Amino acid sequence: MKDEQTTVSNEQPAILGRRRFINTAALTGLTLGVAACADKKGDAAPAAASGPATTAQHGAGGANATHLKPGELDSYYGLWSGGHTGDVRVLGLPSGRELLRIPCFNPDALVGWGITNESKKVMGTKADGSLRYTVADTHHVHASYKDGNYDGRYAWVNDKINSRIARIRLDYFVCDKITELPNVQGFHGIFPDKADPVDPKINYTTRVFCGAEFSIPLPNTVGTEDGTKYHSLFTCVDAESMDVRWQVLIDGNCDLTATSYDGKLAATNQYNTEMGVKYEDMMSAERDACLFFNIARIEEAVKAGKFKTYGDSKVPVVDGRLESNKDPKTALTAYVSVPKNPHGVNASPDTKYFICAGKLSPTATVIELAKVLDYFDGKLESPDKAIVAEVELGLGPLHTAFDGRGNAFTTLFLDSQVVKWNVEAAIKFHAGDKSAKYVVDRIDVQYQPGHLNASQSETRAADGKYLAVGCKFSKDRFLPVGPLHAENEQLIDISGEKMVLLADHPVRGEPHDFIIFKRDLVKPKQVYALEDFPLAVKDPKESGVTRNGKKVTVKLTSQAPAFSMREFKLKKGDEVTLILTNLDKVEDLTHGFAIPKYNVNFIVNPLETASVTFVADKPGVFWCYCTHFCHALHLEMRTRMIVEA
């Protein structure tokens, strides 16, 4: 245990009194598993009443800053994880407007994601050609780096249900690769590296790290009941090939993930170091950990053949467990002890610190990365000595964002607040200077915030303009729409000393996490090149039906407002592959293609080619029509599919 004093806040006594009281009650309640429910209805109100009286001022006056005039463009992009929808949402900020949903893990009937052969190949199919999975649970989206800032190449997002990672191309804003991680379950935290740990010329992302939250038998092929035989792994995926490079067997589990700016360290917070298999057992330890990985050493070990494989997987797994890593000078991992049940680990934009939020502890723990490297060099007696602050922030601290001016912003789930605090002041306070006022401001949010992120927060270019807060419950903030409430993504102005609440944005549950970056960091492309598609039908004259026994290929092109063939004939039982190239090259002149009763609908963007394969099992006349508005004569844009009995 760290010294008790560090968990004492340096705020004025009155506030501390209220929060200490709630603190005790809520934490007791939590272990009984009922507090947050009761808390949901009433906590925010008393917090506003007795907390620092900033809410009223915050609410007034600031609203217009976010509201753009018609036609005015946003200055930032936001990439929001789409939660169970399995997609990534693209927002414009500060307006909060949703500009696009990029389907990744789940089918999307607009795009034809999961319908076209091209998208099915990305998503993964079973032996019979049907989709392997149609559900997902995306939590965290992060983008590729160069020189410590986003470089507009890629973004990645996790699927917790089926332990998959998807990559988004940020030129076309499409998902181009999905990899299912072996040997793990509950893949949660994800973060790209920012540089190579060894080669300074590689000052950009080449790896993506993935933490697995659930522990399972290795391999998971029999229903072993004995939890002591379960393990959790930390995974490295190649940013380009999307192959799994290596995994690390660990003690405890992985929650969130962070990476250092120099590429040498990655870390995950661990909320279940006990490796309990029942809810009650996950709460038994005094402290949990922030687990550091020495990337260069792990890759040396893999190169030296010091690994195992499990089951059918060929992925090398190195041993990162405590017992095998006692000598810091050879250790692959370092377990830094942090208060019980932490949630969230975030890298400060000054490149110096990782900050772990306490969740069940009202604290944030500041870990100095130079000291972690010292530990791996044998210069620090224990990894815990890398902790430079452990300070009280409020109830239920979860995630931390930064303004690039030395301040951190941490969500307080139970207090329904965001607290702004100064990291260097917190370090001074922790070092013994009890006059150091590290808490700068608090603002009530509506309600129960999870993730938050500031503009450019997790880059060297953190600019301290906007803070978005993902509130898990909206309660009374929007018109009622039945049992399923929207969540509330709130936008806060953090450019001044005091935080100012700008706007409430309802969102479909539940986005979890997001990043916000300047609009000039991406260079979107809006028209495809014909050559990008091997199957492209490059001229309407190539249109036609070719037959090879039962196998039939139909080639079509689209040019508003007509398809290249007015009709085509098939025979019942044909195995048909239909290829459609959109020869319209005007930006945004997208066409759709639906076949009634055949469960086909997809779109082709300008100069895009897509294909579908189906069995013509229903005789009759089927009007294939353009489903994406294209032209005044869009309704007439059809072709007749005649299936002879």
Binding flag, residue 360, a second copy (CB under 8 A): yes
User: Minimum Å distance from CB 611 to a second copy?
Assistant: 16
Which residues ranging from 9 to 28 are in contact with a second copy (CB under 8 A)?
none
Which residues ranging from 270 to 309 are in contact with a second copy (CB under 8 A)?
271-272, 277-279, 282-283
Please pick, from the candidates 2, 48, 50, 74, the single residue that binds a second copy as defined by CB under 8 A: 74
Which residues ranging from 193 to 232 are in contact with a second copy (CB under 8 A)?
213-214, 216-217, 220-225, 230
User: Minimum Å distance from CB 447 to a second copy?
Assistant: 10
Binding flag, residue 1, a second copy (CB under 8 A): no
Comparison of 138 and 206: residue with beta carbon closer to a second copy? 138
The SS3 of residue 294 is: strand
Comparison of 181 and 408: residue with beta carbon closer to a second copy? 181
Query: Rg of the chain's alpha carbons, rounded to an integer?
Result: 27
Specify the pairing of strand 638-644 against strand 265-270.
unpaired
Binding mask 441-460 for a second copy (x = CB under 8 A): -----x---x----------
Per DSSP, what are the bridge partners of residue 289? 270, 337
159 sits in which H/E element: strand 149-159
Residue whose tokens read 């959790």: 232
Specify the pairing of strand 575-582 against strand 551-559.
parallel
Check if the beta carbon of residue 412 is closer than 8 Å to that of residue 445: no
Binding window for a second copy (CB under 8 A); candidates: 133-141, 324-332, 367-375, 383-391: 133-141
CA 164 to chain centre: 12
Residue whose tokens read 């030395």: 406
CA atoms of 97 and 387, how far apart (whole Å) = 40
First-to-last C-alpha distance (Å) of the chain: 78
* Number of other CB atoms surrounding residue 201 within 10 Å: 7
- Annotated binding residues, written as ranges, equal 139-140, 188, 271, 274, 282, 288, 341, 343, 399, 451, 472, 487, 512, 591, 626, 628, 630, 634, 637
Residue 561, preceding peptide bond in cis (omega within 30° of 0): yes
CA 354 to chain centre: 18
The SS3 of residue 166 is: strand
Residue 447, preceding peptide bond in cis (omega within 30° of 0): yes
Comparison of 49 and 642: residue with beta carbon closer to a second copy? 642
Angle CA(421)–CA(499)–CA(92) in degrees, nearest 5? 115
Number of residues that bind a second copy (CB under 8 A): 161
Which residues ranging from 88 to 107 are in contact with a second copy (CB under 8 A)?
90, 92, 97-101, 106-107
Comparison of 429 and 593: residue with beta carbon closer to a second copy? 593
User: Minimum Å distance from CB 91 to a second copy?
Assistant: 9
Binding flag, residue 498, a second copy (CB under 8 A): no
Check if the beta carbon of residue 409 is closer than 8 Å to that of residue 454: yes
Please pick, from the candidates 393, 503, 536, 576, the single residue that binds a second copy as defined by CB under 8 A: 503
Comparison of 29 and 148: residue with beta carbon closer to a second copy? 29
Check if the beta carbon of residue 167 is closer than 8 Å to that of residue 192: no
CA atoms of 452 and 473, how far apart (whole Å) = 14
Which residues ranging from 613 to 642 are in contact with a second copy (CB under 8 A)?
619-623, 625, 627-633, 635-638, 640, 642
Binding mask 361-390 for a second copy (x = CB under 8 A): ------------------------------
Please pick, from the candidates 162, 422, 557, 558, the single residue that binds a second copy as defined by CB under 8 A: 162
CA atoms of 243 and 241, how far apart (whole Å) = 5
Binding flag, residue 481, a second copy (CB under 8 A): yes
Binding window for a second copy (CB under 8 A); candidates: 117-125, 262-270, 503-511, 537-545: 503-511
Phi, psi (degrees; rounded to nearest 5) at 109? -75, -15
User: Minimum Å distance from CB 330 to a second copy?
Assistant: 32
- Annotated binding residues for Cu cation, written as ranges, equal 139-140, 188, 343, 399, 451, 512, 591, 626, 628, 630, 634, 637
